[in-house]
Amino acid sequence: MTDKTLSSTPDLRSAPLPTARTLRMRRNLPYQAYRFAAFNLRIVRMVLKGHH
């Protein structure tokens, strides 16, 4: 096949790039630890709510 539209890799040239603030938050370990704990608490609440 010589059709260039059937590529196995996506064309990401037009994908939006993260902002400087987003990149800074992704590297911020205290923020990531907070988000991790908040997400886990949310999951625990869902599980406990489902067991009643």
User: What integer pLDDT is reported at residue 45 of this predicted model?
Assistant: 96
For 1-52, what is each residue's pLDDT tens digit?
555 566 688 888 999 999 999 999 999 999 999 999 999 999 999 999 987 6
- Which of 50, 32, 28 lies closest to 40, judged by CA? 32
pTM: 0.59
Within a 13 Å sphere around the CA of 41, how many CA atoms are in the beta-carbon half?
Answer: 6
| Geometric angle at alpha carbon 17, from 3 and 21, rounded to 5° | 170
Residue ranges per structural domain of the chain? 21-50
